[in-house]
A and B are shown apart, each in its own frame.
Chain A
Amino acid sequence: MPVWVILADDLEPADAREIERLVPATPSSYHRLNPLTKAVIAAVGSIGAFVAGGYIGPIVFDLVMLLLAVRAGVLGQLVRASLLLTAPIAISVVLVSVFTRAGTTVLFAIGPFDATAEGVDFAAQTLVRLFAISLSIGLFVMTTHPRAFVFDLERRGASPRVAFVALATIEAVPALVERAAVIGESQRARGLDTEGNLRARLRGLLPLIGPVIIGALTDVEERSLALESRAFSRPGRRHLLWTMRDTRWERLLRWGLMALLGAITLARISGRI
């Protein structure tokens, strides 16, 4: 049995081997960290970069996340996803900040708009923060299986219902994407134009939203009935088949990171950074 997985303690050896095969793959030592530890790293990375402000703090968080991504073997994937996710916000932040922020040093002008050095500085600071937030959350998502996270929360005392709802919400995203693709194809087969320029795409998107949402709601109603017939509403705790192991040093690490975040926040409030 891998040391990073805890199987239910009353299983026969043959059962244990079977359950072990169902545990999501953990290809790197970072993947094998307890999900709560990775969640805390993501939270501290995001909030810490936001609170710290300036350049040094967010850049340090950027670098730490990139190093952890190297360790997890997801560097390329993470950088691509983060750039894609932050690009739309980054473009608007740069345009708004550079051309509308008041400043004394005008770098150049486009029509009535002056690009100021202060605006460039503000945009750059925002971008490094955004990138840190995106890297932190992306790293967590790419290295943590939703089931592992939710089972860990349940093991720590979260209600099975809350855990189920959290997991169902995360797992519903790919299902919704699949449903949207099917509805999109059937609408296109009936002549709806969903390709071409941006305006045509947006026009084509609107008729898809209704069926996707209504269909999802109908599914939820039937799924809730099916779950009721599987004792979902029974009160009390469940015996989980497997969870991810937690260690003493990981607990220490989490407390240390929380203390670091607290220190950054205090320093920021007191004006030391």
Chain B
Amino acid sequence: MLGLHGISYRYAGYAEPVLHEINLTLADGEIVGVVGANDAGKSTLCLVASGLAPGSIGGGLSGRLTIDGSDMAGRPLHEFSTRVGIAFQNPATQLSGVSGSVFEEVALGPMNLGLPARETVARTRAALTTLGIEDLREREPRHLSGGQAQLVVLASLLAMRPAHLVLDEPTAQLDPEGTRLVGEALRALAATGTGMLITEHKTDLLNRLCSRVVVIDAGRIVLDGPTAAVLADGRMEQWGVEPPSPIRLARALEARGLDPGLVAGALQ
């Protein structure tokens, strides 16, 4: 379990914190969505949850980050890599840029861990299989489509065998097909017991994937609850979040005096 307990964080060189008193837990196999307006603090939350803030980028942190009950304060960054993986929105900048094939790209992390070659190959093959991209293994990473590249990024994280994944808008640069591919992959991953924290503007995707959704506004958690209840909350627009399409459709029908129940069955 990944836990953030009373976390406040400010970036290096800034006096004011960006996150305030964040309390959040992520159980194994659970998918938690994080929504909020731009600059609400979602990406910062991802950096903190993965140990990169302040571990890599500096800044000031108060509160405790725990993984499976262990306080992670002061731990070296490479210890996080086998416990929490993080993916950002642009797959192009997360590929190492030094690998000649997808297989070598995915194998880079296990190699960095100093694992024997046999173990590296086994992990790489397993990660490619889990995400259904074995057929890409000999392709050059630079020449992949956005959706394929994001799947390779996920596979690269999986090969590290982290218990938790933090995904910062993983489908932001993807077309509908790429979004579908990544969504399916994430669902398959959760089934293997990997806990996931996903920030997204695409609430339709969160609606399909998450058991729980958290709303962040100005660096504070303002709502935390079951997906359906949170995404249907009347204050979502006020927090800069567009509700998923079934809810918007239902509201549009109601506004015109029609019964939303007429299309509810079809939407289900």
B80 within 8 A of A: yes
A173 → chain B closest CB, angstroms: 11
Distance between Cα atoms of A171 and B104 in the complex (Å): 15
Instruction: Determine if A255 is an interface residue (Cβ-Cβ < 8 Å).
Output: no
- Which residue of chain A lies nearest to B121 when distances are taken between CB atoms in the complex? A15
- Does A241 belong to the interface (CB within 8 Å)? yes
CA distance A259 to B86 in the complex (A): 51
Q: Which residue of B lies closest to A10 (CB)?
A: B118
Query: Is there contact, CB below 8 Å, between B88 and A226?
Result: yes
Known: A228-B55, A231-B81. 12 other contacts (CB 8 A): A11-B117, A19-B121, A22-B104, A147-B100, A172-B97, A175-B142, A225-B56, A229-B52, A231-B82, A231-B109, A234-B113, A239-B114
CB-contact partner of A233 in B47, B78, B100, B153, under 8 A: B78
Q: Does A190 interact with chain B (Cβ within 8 Å)? A: no
Taking the complex as formed, is A8 at the interface, i.e. its CB lies under 8 A from any CB of chain B?
yes
**Chain A 161-194 near chain B by CB (<8 Å), digits 1 or 0:** 0001001100110110000000000000000000
Chain B residues 69 to 108 lying within 8 A of chain A, measured CB to CB, are 76-78, 80-82, 84-88, 90, 92-94, 96-101, 103-104, 107-108
The count of chain A contact residues (Cβ–Cβ below 8 Å) is 44
Jot down 26 A-B pairs with beta carbons below 8 A, ordered by A. Answer: A8-B116, A10-B116, A10-B117, A10-B118, A11-B117, A11-B118, A18-B137, A24-B100, A167-B98, A168-B96, A168-B97, A171-B97, A219-B92, A226-B86, A226-B153, A227-B96, A228-B52, A229-B81, A230-B108, A230-B157, A234-B112, A239-B117, A239-B120, A240-B117, A241-B107, A241-B120
Q: Which residues in A have their C-beta under 8 angstroms from that of B77?
A: 228, 233
Near A by CB (< 8 A), chain B positions 101-152 give 101, 103-104, 107-109, 111-118, 120-121, 137-138, 142
> Closest residue of chain B to A24, judged by CB?
B100
* Residues from 198 to 257 in A contacting B, C-beta threshold 8 Å: 218-219, 222-234, 236-241
- Complex-state Cα separation, A18 to B137, whole angstroms: 10
B156 within 8 A of partner (CB): yes
Cross-chain contact of B121 among A18, A167, A218 (Cβ < 8 A): A18
* Residue from A22, A172, A238 in contact with B103 in the complex, judged by beta carbons closer than 8 Å: A22
Known: A22-B104, A239-B120. A230 touches B81 (CB 8 A): yes
Complexed CA–CA distance, A247 and B236 (Å)? 68
Given contacts A231-B81, A239-B116, A241-B111, A22 and B93 within 8 Å (CB-CB): no
Which chain B residue lies CB-closest to A9?
B117
Which 3 interchain pairs have the tightest Cβ spacing? A8-B117, A234-B78, A230-B109
Chain A proximity of B140: nearest CB distance (Å): 11
Nearest CB to that of B114 among chain A residues?
A: A236
Minimal Cβ-Cβ distance residue in B for A218:
B93
Q: A residues within 8 A CB of B142? A: 174-175
Do the beta carbons of B97 and A222 come within 8 Å of each other? no
Bound-state Cα–Cα, A71 to B67, Å: 58
- Give A35 Cβ to nearest chain B Cβ, in Å: 14
- Name A229's closest neighbour in chain B (CB-CB): B86
- Contact residues in B for A58 (Cβ distance below 8 Å): none
Would you call B93 and A219 a contact (CB within 8 A)? Answer: yes
Task: Tell me whether B86 and A239 are in contact (CB under 8 A).
Answer: no
B160 interface residue per 8 A CB criterion? yes
With a cutoff of 8 Å between Cβ atoms, the chain B residues found around residue A147 in the complex are 98-100
Contacts of B80 in A (CB 8 A): 229
Q: Could you tell me if B114 and A22 are in contact, using CB atoms closer than 8 angstroms?
A: no
Choice from A10, A22, A223, A231 contacting B113 with Cβ under 8 Å: A231
For residue B57, CB closer than 8 A to chain A, the reply is: yes
Task: Give, as a whole number of angstroms, the nearest-CB distance from A114 to chain B.
Answer: 53
B50 within 8 A of A: yes
Q: Which residues of A contact B116 (CB under 8 A)?
A: 8, 10, 239
> Are B76 and A233 in contact, with the CB atoms below 8 A?
yes
Complex Cα distance, B153 from A18, in Å, reads 21
Whole-angstrom distance between the Cβ of A162 and the nearest chain B Cβ: 13
Which residues in B have their C-beta under 8 angstroms from that of A80? none
B108 contact set on A, CB distance < 8 A: 230
Give bound CA distance, A108 to B99, whole Å. Answer: 57
User: What's the Cα separation between A145 and B100 when bound, in Å?
Assistant: 10
- Evaluate contact between B112 and A232: CB separation under 8 angstroms: yes
Most buried by A among B52, B97, B100: B97
Residues of A within 8 Å of B98, CB to CB, are 147, 150, 164, 167-168, 171
Chain A residues with CB below 8 A from B114, complex form:
234, 236-239
Q: What is the CB-to-nearest-CB distance from B194 to chain A, in angstroms, rounded to a whole number?
A: 14
Contact A240 B121 (CB under 8 A): no
Tell me which residues across on chain B come within 8 A of A145, comparing CB atoms. 100
A15 touches B118 (CB 8 A): yes
Docked Cα-Cα span, A105 to B107, in Å, equals 66
How does the 8 Å CB contact mask read for A1-15 relative to B, with 1 for contact and 0 for none?
Answer: 000000111111001
A100 CB to closest chain B CB (Å) equals 45
Determine the chain B residues whose CB is within 8 A of the CB of A138 once the complex forms: none
